[in-house]
């Protein structure tokens, strides 16, 4: 026989041995499959395999159950001579009724009955019994007075003796229900592995005479190994037979059981033995009852009988609602899975759906990142857009012309401010910084490079004004006159340009005449000087500015006073350059009612003589101390101009003059000022004097009032009397209508930063 044939024979031999081993294993295992005809219930007790009723219905002889007829036609199962109550495959236990050992007093002989004092807990199970008393679920219990109960295992391999003593005092009322701690009842644990068929129980009464026993009124004592959970001590057990009668001398006990004598590892290796764990979804566990052997149980997620093929079935855990109320349960083979709503995460430790912190943080961070990205992109786009808008505003407002001129005229003291600079200077246009409000804008006090300034936010401008704004700013910036507020600069990168003037801190001429200083009765000569300074400023605008400038809103509220009470003409919001053609007619009349030129209101053409008319109204305020227009009283008395012209026509000037003026000055001076005012208020503009003629006339009239050296000293004294030296932060105000104080409030103070103007 050659080598190849030998190899073939060797392979065939190995295959044959393998098949033989499989057949042996299958045949050995097949002996454990119960017959389908086996009875699986006796009375109300289920008898699952490996237990069985009848031949070849159980795993081995120790698991045979007999079903015996009972009372009322109900059958009862018995195992090892004990009535079987139930079988647990999961816990590998059975419950049986275990005999109680009594020790009773005999009334007929008045002696102790020793015959019932000892019980052998034996059975008809052979020495290889699979049952052991459960040391976890049972306790040795003794009931009685002065009674010693003992129990022991008479197996020579594991001899054991233990017990407990139950004591009673003279007063049985000391015992309490549900307390088995030595007073009338005692309990003690039993050792692991105590055999079911080799336990002896003894009850020993320690009282010597029947008289002493009678004194307790107690007849019997008891000892039993029973299920701890089924026992609940009552004091009536001591002096009655209630404990015995409840179970007819028997008490439930729990027995552990196991299969065979080998461990799981040994049985699995032994091909000739019968492995009892037949179900494919079962597991083998070594016995923990103190004896050799093993038990079977279904794998996790399965339930049923692990001792028969396919006996372990998948458990639908979702029927028991193991998941949180807001979760969803999905059954799987041998297990289940809980899922939670979006945004929540299942927590196995406490079986709850908690907020998914990781998901929330991730989504939040992603959202924040997206928002930051969008915000940054939006900010960049807005900055670019704003920059373009500012550049467009700068171009429209003549900024390029300004810069070109500033380069060519190096001595030009004019600054083009950025919007950010003016925001910072005025603390973001804080309301507390407002020093004036009117129809042409709002004036704020600001600080630029440690220098106080007045920042004016103008109202909307028409297209013509926007086109000419740069040129007009150049002209205004070149005006340098002591009686005109200096324009320091402007801001062109906003929709409506902002103007920056020098800051004049000491109030207005309106306040000096009508406001808080009225009670001082300012000398007429001082007011006349201030009026002349106003005329000088207007004369400069009309005659020396190139091109000439028409103020357009001359009034006492726009005449500021510096530290020396020198007049400063301010607020050029309504100003225009002297018209050079017919196209420069205004489409909307601007100014303040009471000061407006009637001819201007009719023709909508602003001229130099319009400023003259307004100055005439100022002269009336100096002469009369009254406001130009009253909103109360008789209608014919509301206009100061009408009252004055009527008084002049009737040659009754004293009706409108202030009383203190007639006391201070000569009638010739007063009459001269009145005639000058009348000429300024002429309805026809061409008949009105020019500002040059007005300044010359005022200069002449002032010389008539007093000698020059006396005049100078008087004015210095008057300056000290004024409140011009007080700290005040008022700036010129503007409006189209003025509401003046009522007579009863004429002597009250007025807030320098407030305005009596209704826009």
Give the active site residues. 553
Mapping DSSP to helix (H, G, I), strand (E, B) and coil, where does residue 167 land? strand
Token match 């400069």: residue? 540
DSSP E strands: which ranges in 556-687? 559-561, 567-569, 576-577
Give the Å distances, CA to CA, from 17 to 4, 21, 28, 273, 574.
20, 6, 16, 18, 122
Alpha-carbon span 225 to 95, nearest angstrom = 12
Token match 């939670």: residue? 340
HSE (side-chain half, CA atoms, 13 Å) at 185:
21
Please work out, in degrees rounded to the nearest 5, the angle formed at the alpha carbon of residue 498 by the alpha carbons of 558 and 753: 40
β-strands 415-416, 487-491 pairing: parallel
Token match 């105000």: residue? 733
Sign of the C-alpha dihedral computed for residues 505, 510, 513 and 517 taken in this order: negative
The token pair at 522 is 């300012």
**β partners of residue 284:** 296
Alpha-carbon span 741 to 749, nearest angstrom = 11
Mapping DSSP to helix (H, G, I), strand (E, B) and coil, where does residue 135 land? coil
Mapping DSSP to helix (H, G, I), strand (E, B) and coil, where does residue 384 land? helix
Alpha-carbon span 759 to 442, nearest angstrom = 12
The token pair at 113 is 């009955």
H, E, C per residue of 361-372 = HHHHHHHHHHHH
* 57 contacts 38 by C-beta, under 8 angstroms: yes
**β partners of residue 489:** 415, 500
Token match 């037949």: residue? 278
* 216 contacts 239 by C-beta, under 8 angstroms: yes
The token pair at 226 is 């029973």
**CA 360 to chain CA mean position, Å:** 15
β-strands 451-458, 441-448 pairing: antiparallel
Alpha-carbon span 460 to 476, nearest angstrom = 19
Alpha-carbon span 172 to 183, nearest angstrom = 9
* 569 contacts 593 by C-beta, under 8 angstroms: no
* 199 contacts 225 by C-beta, under 8 angstroms: yes
β-strands 93-99, 82-88 pairing: antiparallel
Alpha-carbon span 507 to 562, nearest angstrom = 8
DSSP string over 697-731 = HHHHHHHHHS-HHHHHHHHHHHHHHSGGGS---B-
**β partners of residue 448:** 451
Alpha-carbon span 501 to 117, nearest angstrom = 125
How many helices and strands in the chain, by DSSP H and E? 18, 37
Instruction: Supply the DSSP symbol for 274.
Output: P
């Amino acid at each position: 026989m050659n080598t190849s044939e030998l190899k073939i024979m060797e392979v065939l031999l190995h295959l044959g041995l393998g098949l033989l081993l499989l057949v042996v294993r299958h045949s050995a295992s097949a002996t454990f499959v119960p017959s389908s005809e086996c009875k699986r219930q006796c009375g109300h007790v289920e008898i699952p395999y490996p237990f069985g009723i009848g031949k070849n219905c159980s795993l081995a002889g120790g698991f045979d159950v007999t079903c015996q007829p009972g009372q009322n036609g109900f059958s009862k199962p018995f195992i090892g001579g004990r009535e079987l109550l139930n079988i647990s495959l999961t816990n590998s236990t059975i419950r049986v009724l275990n005999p109680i050992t009594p020790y009773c007093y005999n009334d007929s002989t008045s002696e102790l009955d020793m015959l019932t004092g000892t019980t052998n807990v034996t059975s008809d199970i052979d020495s290889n019994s699979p049952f052991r008393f459960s040391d976890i679920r049972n306790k040795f219990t003794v009931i009685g007075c002065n009674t010693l109960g003992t129990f022991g295992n008479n197996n020579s391999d594991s001899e054991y003796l233990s017990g407990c003593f139950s004591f009673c005092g003279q007063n049985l009322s000391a015992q309490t229900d549900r307390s088995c701690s030595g007073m009338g009842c005692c309990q003690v644990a039993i050792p692991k592995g105590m055999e079911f068929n080799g336990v002896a129980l003894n009850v020993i009464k320690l009282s010597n005479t029947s008289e002493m026993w009678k004194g307790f009124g107690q007849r019997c004592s008891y000892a039993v190994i029973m299920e701890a959970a089924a026992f609940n001590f009552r004091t009536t057990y001591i002096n009655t037979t209630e404990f015995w009668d409840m179970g007819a001398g028997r008490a439930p006990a729990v027995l552990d059981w196991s299969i065979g004598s080998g461990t799981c590892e040994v049985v699995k290796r032994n091909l000739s033995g019968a492995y009892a764990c037949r179900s494919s979804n079962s597991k083998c566990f070594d016995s923990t009852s103190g004896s050799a052997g093993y038990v079977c149980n279904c794998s996790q997620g399965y339930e049923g009988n692990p001792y028969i093929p396919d006996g372990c079935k998948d458990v639908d855990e979702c029927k028991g609602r193991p998941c949180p109320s807001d979760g969803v349960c999905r059954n799987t083979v041998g297990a289940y899975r809980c899922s939670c709503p979006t945004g929540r995460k299942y927590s196995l430790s406490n079986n709850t759906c908690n907020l998914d912190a990781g998901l929330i943080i991730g989504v939040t961070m992603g959202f924040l990142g997206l928002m930051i990205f969008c915000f940054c992109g939006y900010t960049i786009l807005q900055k670019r857009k704003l920059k373009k808008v500012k550049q467009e505003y700068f171009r429209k407002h003549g900024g390029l012309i300004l810069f070109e001129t500033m380069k060519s005229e190096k001595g030009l003291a004019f600054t083009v401010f950025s919007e950010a600079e003016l925001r910072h200077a005025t603390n973001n246009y804080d309301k507390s910084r407002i020093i004036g409000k009117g129809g042409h804008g709002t004036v704020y006090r600001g600080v630029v490079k440690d220098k106080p300034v007045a920042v004016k936010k103008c109202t909307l401008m028409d297209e013509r004004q926007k086109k000419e704004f740069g040129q007009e700013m150049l002209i205004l910036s070149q005006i340098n006159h002591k009686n005109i507020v200096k324009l320091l600069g402007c801001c062109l990168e906003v929709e409506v340009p902002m103007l920056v003037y020098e800051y004049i801190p000491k109030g207005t001429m309106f306040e000096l005449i009508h406001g808080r200083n009225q009670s001082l009765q300012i000398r007429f000569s001082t007011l006349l000087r201030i009026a002349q300074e106003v005329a000088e400023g207007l004369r400069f605008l009309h005659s020396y500015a190139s091109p000439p400038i028409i103020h357009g809103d001359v009034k006492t509220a726009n005449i500021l006073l510096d530290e020396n009470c020198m007049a400063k003409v301010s607020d050029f919001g309504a100003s225009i350059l002297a018209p050079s053609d017919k196209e420069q007619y205004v489409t909307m009349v601007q100014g303040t009612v009471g000061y407006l030129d009637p001819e201007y209101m009719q023709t909508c053409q602003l001229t130099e003589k319009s400023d003259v008319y307004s100055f005439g109204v100022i002269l009336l305020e100096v002469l009369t101390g009254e406001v130009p227009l009253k909103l109360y009283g008789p209608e014919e008395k509301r206009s100061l101009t009408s009252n004055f012209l009527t008084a002049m026509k009737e040659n009754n000037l004293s009706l409108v003059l202030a009383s203190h003026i007639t006391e201070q000055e000569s009638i010739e001076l007063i009459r001269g000022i009145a005639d000058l005012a009348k000429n300024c208020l002429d309805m026809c503009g061409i008949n009105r004097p020019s500002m040059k003629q007005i300044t010359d006339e005022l200069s002449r009239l002032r010389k008539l009032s007093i000698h020059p050296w006396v005049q100078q000293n008087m004015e210095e004294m008057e300056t000290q009397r004024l409140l011009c030296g007080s700290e005040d932060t008022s700036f010129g105000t503007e409006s189209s209508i003025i509401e003046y104080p009522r007579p009863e409030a004429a002597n009250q103070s007025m807030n320098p930063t407030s305005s009596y103007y209704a826009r």
